[in-house]
Amino acid sequence: MTVIFAADDFDVTEEAPAKINLALHVTGRRADGYHLLDMLVTFARHGDCLGFRASERDEFSLSGRFSPLLTDGDAGGNLVLKARDLLRQAARAAGFEAPPVHIHLEKNLPVASGIGGGSADAAATLRGLARLWDLALPSDVVNAIALKLGADVPMCLASRPLIARGIGEVIELLPDFPSFAMVLGNPLVGVSTPEVFRMLARKDNPPFVLPLQATNGRMQWIETIEGLRNDLEPPARMLCNEIATLSQLIESQGALATRMSGSGATCFGLFDNLEQATAAAASLHSLRPDWYFQATETIKGDA
């Protein structure tokens, strides 16, 4: 008999918020091939959810709209299981117990869609298992594990508005950053991140310069965001025609600003309030029921 789980059935639950690149400037490239980025990042109140509980043996289960696109295979191909194994190794090296655990992933975000789903899941695994196992590891140890899992994971570990530079590991939190009402949209078409970077016309674009956050309110931030870029959007549009259509559809609903997140194909629109965003998402869903649309709000800097 198949047992159906939900994340809230577990002893410890952790949200894995969608990571939204409000701006992404490609400013250079390191000798090892990694691209240097300036990113303005915030996180949505919508995302995946993970549950954790003690078990006689390690288990992993899935639910949610996009779970059929994943498998519960070995740790080699799953960031959640990689995070479990790396944290367990560090915990035992520090003298902590890290017994078997059942991890459940409720997959609500599209897969490989430019909003950090896998990275957010890995970060939530680090947070959730630290609580379940009652770990007191130094923050630099946990951050090193996060970076080993991927350049986006340290950002997702924070899950607060921030500026990220370097390959994503140099992080500056933005405590006064406002919350935005937002619609997320995705045409459910995959875009290859390596191919997007390969097609960049320039890899030494200007970094961004932000005004003083203390004097920059919500509408001023929207104006600032409109003046920034996602340097990955033009090549992504060449690879995936649906991105242009999606962006136009969101803009047609009265969005204050519209842009692609990350390497795509998810686009977002900022709205005056959640009611408008909810109405826009419903309208967009009626126009394209085969695509993904979600109204949400982003997490405030002081949350």
Q: How many CA atoms lie within 13 A of 116 on its CB side?
A: 32
203 is known as an active-site residue:
no
| Lookup: tokens for 158 | 């924070």
Q: Would you say 289 and 185 are in contact if contact means Cβ atoms under 8 Å apart?
A: no
Cα separation, 303 vs 299, whole angstroms: 6
Residues constituting the chain = 303
Could you tell me the CA-to-CA distances from 41 to 6, 17, 53, 173 in Å, in that order?
29, 12, 31, 10
Asked if 152 is an active-site residue, the reply is yes
Which residue carries 């692609």 as its tokens? 260
* Candidate list 38, 48, 152, 231, residue with the active-site label: 152
Which residue among the candidates 11, 19, 176, 300 is catalytic per the annotation? 19
Question: Are 42 and 298 spatial neighbours (Cβ–Cβ below 8 Å)?
Answer: yes
Q: Hey, which residues are catalytic here?
A: 19, 152
